[in-house]
Structure 1
Amino acid sequence: MSVLLVSLLLLIPILLLLRRRKSSKRVPPGSLGIPIIGQSLGLLRAMRANTAEKWVIERTKKYGPVSKLSLFGKPTVLLYGQAANKFIFSGGGNTIVNQQTQSIKMILGDRNLLELSGEDHSRVRSALVSFLKPESLKQYVGKMEDEVIRHLDMHWQGKQHVKVLPLMKTLTFNIICSLLFGLERGKQRDQFLDSFQLMIEGMWSVPINMPFTRYNRSLRASARIQTMLKEIVHKKKMELKQKVASDRQDLISCLLGMVDEDDKQVMTEKEIIHNIMLVMVAGHDTSSVVITFIIRVLANEPAISAAVLQEQEEIAKSKPSGEPLTWEDLSKMKYTWRVAMETLRMFPPIFGGFRKAATDIEYDGYLIPKGWQIFWVTAMTHMENSIFPDPSKFDPSRFENQASIPPYSFIPFGGGARMCPGYEFARVETLVAIHYLVTRFTWKLCSDNFFSRDPMPVPSQGLLVHIWRRKLS
């Protein structure tokens, strides 16, 4: 009996060891690399050298479309392809939850939409959409137009050369301050911009909080911005209470004015601040990059530039002098928006995104362990010949019939329930800016076509162009 008991006791650790080995074989192939750093520096180097797509392709050739690595301090599984996109945006159910890298979470706050799941995600997303949906945005076209015209008068008019990307970032920041915060031009807006630019530099960084690191600078800038936003929120809350302001005048006022059936505020103050920061980053960086790359495309593609100009001039000539753009005018800019969509296909502002496995997940024959980070790459399906024939050719006609594009293969704004709530805001912002740029100016590139990612695309010299004033033909 004692011999049998001893044998069983000896057998248990062996069985556990075998089981562990069996399970470990099911984890995707690859290496986690050096603790904390992992493959983060390699990916960041590839992005800055504009070879990130090649970096991903080499991994998939070596390990397949599912592989393990370590990014920004966490064990990660890289998923690649149309099936992976579908799994991320629709098939994951409750097994995949929102979670960004530690750097993004700490900089933007843990109650922003990218960190929320389930009922919290639905509640906060619905609140944001109430302001950002087309029905609401119609009344803000004129306000956006005023910011664009003022920007061109201040920074383009009378100039021979301009750096497009820095100027587009200035424009989108001013639009955000005007429409989302109701923050007037002046010292406070300028202080906001300085801290904001420092904050976004460390969004994708190794989360080592030591002096002189990008991450540390971004954290400190984030703290300053949150303090400024808290002051703005308190001021607007008081104005709404005293009924000297409307809850539709800007995004902060809108969110403060939203209450549920029990007359309880839908979003907490912390959630409002963290999501305002998220919308700031999304509306500032992505839109400025898209507009910059459309300008780059129009300089490189004369036939496409002529077609965009023709569409915009027809709209301009159909209106009495000085009459502002309307929502109906934007709906006529079909070709211009197809150019924007093709620009997003070839030069997506977002290279990839992150999620977290809420439980052990079986995917494509592998185990994604609970708590691991999931990294998916936006741009890869955009350049697959089987989905977009001759993918290196810039061809806006691909988007004449979007129903013909396979689901989950074109995802610059996400998909399914995770579709970016700021999609319509970005569309309006882009079309208004392009309308006035092409009808007022013509340009040619003074710099090469190279761009790096940091983490968004940054053209060399900020896309330096030579500009001329154009007269409406």
Structure 2
Amino acid sequence: MDLVMAIIVAGMIVLCFCSVLLKWNEVKYRKEGLPPGTMGWPIFGETTEFLKHGPNFMKNQRARYGSFFKSHILGCPTIVSMDAEINRYILMNEAKGLVPGYPQSMLDILGKCNIAAVHGSTHKYMRGALLSLISPTMIRDQLLPKIDEFMRAHLSNWNNKVINIQAKTKEMAFLSSLKQIAGIESGSISQPFMAEFFNLVLGTLSLPINLPGTNYSRGVKARKKIISILSQLLEERRASQETHLDMLGCLMEKEDNRYILSDEEIIDLIITIMYSGYETVSTTSMMAVKYLHDHPNVLEELRLCLLQKEHLTIRERKKLDDPINCNDLKSMRFTRAVIFETSRLATIVNGVLRKTTQDMELNGSLVPKGWRIYVYTREINYDQFLYPEPLTFNPWRWLDNSQESQSYFMIFGGGTRQCPGKELGIAEICTFLHYFVTRYRWEEVGGEKLMKFPRVEAPNGLHIRVSHLTR
């Protein structure tokens, strides 16, 4: 009996202590004019609930507090905006004190010179350097030939195999990007680089607590090793004094180069290029394969389009092994529509973060200096007024080109920070789908579970059995 009473008393003490902690954290962030909401626990805030329950957490908070509410996620007090008009205003007005506000874990691991961390004139300069690497001319003359060559080889031996398409598309996105950055030298550094890069990616979306075994700790260590690999590559290139027709060669070029960067800036830009393209390209490619499998009518239209309207015509004027070019890509209208619809329905990117540089009023509420604003765009993708039957995979909706120019179109971000690598990423996915659907048919093996938040992934992989497509 005494033991039971002791347990009850201990339980009540714990509950009281937890209640006091929660109340203390609410009082700590209490300020007149703030929007409604809850702040959760000290230090951790509501990060666990956010990462675990994701969209449901957001929907529940919106039901309680409206489309503009406060929280504490990923280590910082945050205002969450789920209103399309307010989101557009935030993205279009960086000059009015709304600068990038990505989590500390991301800033630590991607580097202080990465394009998402800087703003003002520095951002303009770094963005200019990035755009010079992925301009339409660079894509046409240098990058697309490398992508085409890589995709042919990557997809060459999949026949009569059961493959994990998630692992294959991750490997594909990483190695294709590395080939564009470091050309023929990428083979010598690909394996040690890839192992560390995957750890780096996991660390960017975590609490910045540097304890052994945490994703953040592994991400920080991975960054140090990647810096070592890239620094050695820079030294070797300077010693050889050879000309290299790849991204790294362009960044290191001193003559006729408008954007002269330090080694630290070059390394952070390379990491940013690989990071920003990796997850969107790999996950969109995987989910396109998944949706095409689940919607045979879309796959039939894609193949019909490919074989009769797009790629049969392309192949008729080429030799069998001739690569596809930019004009070929422009003709792949339905392929592009499949990519947009995959990105919308799977919601690869849930939103973007900004930070205030001063106290400001937004939506009639106070947003204190230094707080983050989470421009949460996920729900826009499922708005039935914007996308009729929003849970249906319907690429045909994108054949009307006006969809891409709508103010609510934020699949690739918005404002001055719309994804600069949008067209390069689309070129990579188009090339992958071109060779995959014209070479192979496939069926799923196992029916593995898919998670949609905080990342779109198959925890146990997504396995398919592949065989040659006979015409």
Q: Same fold (TM over 0.5)?
A: yes
Superimposed CA distance per residue, residues 91-140 of structure 1 (whole angstroms, 9 cap, x where no aligned partner): 34331011310100111111100001111111110110111122210122
Q: Distance in 1 between matches of 2:421 and 2:405?
A: 23
Q: Distance in 2 between matches of 1:82 and 1:37?
A: 28
Matches within 5 A, 1:71-110: 71-110=73-112
Q: Distance in 1 between matches of 2:238 and 2:414?
A: 34
Q: Distance in 2 between matches of 1:31 and 1:326?
A: 53
> What residue number does 2:420 align with?
421
> What residue number does 1:10 align with?
none
Structure 1, 251-260 or 293-302: larger mean CA deviation:
251-260
> What residue number does 1:307 align with?
301
Contact kept? 1:99, 1:116, Cα under 8 Å: no
> What residue number does 2:5 align with?
none
Percent identity reads 27
> What residue number does 2:128 align with?
126
Structure 1, 459-468 or 172-181: larger mean CA deviation:
459-468
| Shift, 1:201, TM fit | 1.4
Q: Distance in 1 between matches of 2:277 and 2:334?
A: 23
* Matched residues, number: 438
Contact kept? 2:39, 2:46, Cα under 8 Å: yes
Structure 2, unaligned stretches of length 5 or more? 1-26
Q: Distance in 2 between matches of 1:360 and 1:185?
A: 47
Contact kept? 2:448, 2:460, Cα under 8 Å: no
Residue type at the aligned position of 1:129: L
Residue type at the aligned position of 2:264: K
Contact kept? 1:131, 1:251, Cα under 8 Å: yes
Structure 1, 181-190 or 266-275: larger mean CA deviation:
181-190
Structure 1, unaligned stretches of length 5 or more? 1-19, 47-51
> What residue number does 2:201 align with?
200
1:40 equivalenced with 2:34 (yes/no):
no
> What residue number does 1:24 align with?
31
Matches within 5 A, 1:229-268: 229-239=230-240, 242=241, 244-246=242-244, 249-257=245-253, 266-268=260-262
1:280 equivalenced with 2:281 (yes/no):
no
The two structures, once aligned, show a CA RMSD in angstroms of 2.1
| Shift, 1:428, TM fit | 0.7
Q: 1:98 and 1:32, CA in 2 relative to 1: closer, same or farther beyond 3 A?
A: same
Contact kept? 2:178, 2:190, Cα under 8 Å: yes
> What residue number does 1:153 align with?
156
Indicate the SS of the match to 2:99.
Answer: strand
Contact kept? 2:448, 2:458, Cα under 8 Å: yes
Contact kept? 2:147, 2:176, Cα under 8 Å: yes
| Shift, 1:296, TM fit | 0.5
Q: Distance in 1 between matches of 2:343 and 2:211?
A: 36
Matches within 5 A, 1:311-460: 311-314=305-308, 315-316=311-312, 317-318=315-316, 319-404=318-403, 407-448=406-447, 450-453=449-452, 455-460=454-459
Contact kept? 2:55, 2:453, Cα under 8 Å: no
| Shift, 1:234, TM fit | 2.7
Q: Distance in 2 between matches of 1:429 and 1:70?
A: 37
Q: 1:233 and 1:453, CA in 2 relative to 1: closer, same or farther beyond 3 A?
A: farther
Residue type at the aligned position of 2:232: E
Superimposed CA distance per residue, residues 184-216 of structure 1 (whole angstroms, 9 cap, x where no aligned partner): 354521100111111111111111111121111
Q: Distance in 1 between matches of 2:80 and 2:235?
A: 42
| Shift, 1:453, TM fit | 4.3
Q: 1:313 and 1:381, CA in 2 relative to 1: closer, same or farther beyond 3 A?
A: same
Q: 1:419 and 1:446, CA in 2 relative to 1: closer, same or farther beyond 3 A?
A: same
Q: Distance in 2 between matches of 1:165 and 1:42?
A: 26
| Shift, 1:264, TM fit | 8.2
Q: Distance in 2 between matches of 1:187 and 1:324?
A: 25
> What residue number does 2:58 align with?
56
| Shift, 1:258, TM fit | 5.6
1:289 equivalenced with 2:283 (yes/no):
yes
Residue type at the aligned position of 2:326: W
Q: 1:57 and 1:440, CA in 2 relative to 1: closer, same or farther beyond 3 A?
A: same
Indicate the SS of the match to 1:209.
Answer: coil
| Shift, 1:404, TM fit | 4.5
Q: Distance in 1 between matches of 2:371 and 2:378?
A: 22
| Shift, 1:229, TM fit | 1.2
| Shift, 1:88, TM fit | 2.3
| Shift, 1:406, TM fit | 7.1
Q: Distance in 2 between matches of 1:438 and 1:264?
A: 41
Q: 1:190 and 1:183, CA in 2 relative to 1: closer, same or farther beyond 3 A?
A: farther
Contact kept? 1:447, 1:460, Cα under 8 Å: no
Q: Distance in 2 between matches of 1:236 and 1:438?
A: 39
Q: 1:77 and 1:330, CA in 2 relative to 1: closer, same or farther beyond 3 A?
A: same
> What residue number does 2:176 align with?
175
Contact kept? 1:37, 1:73, Cα under 8 Å: yes
Matches within 5 A, 1:185-224: 186-224=187-225
| Shift, 1:405, TM fit | 6.0
| Shift, 1:162, TM fit | 1.0
Q: Provide the TM-score with structure 1 as the length reference.
A: 0.88
Residue type at the aligned position of 1:309: R
Contact kept? 1:85, 1:408, Cα under 8 Å: no
Contact kept? 1:448, 1:460, Cα under 8 Å: no
> What residue number does 2:114 align with?
112
Contact kept? 2:440, 2:467, Cα under 8 Å: yes
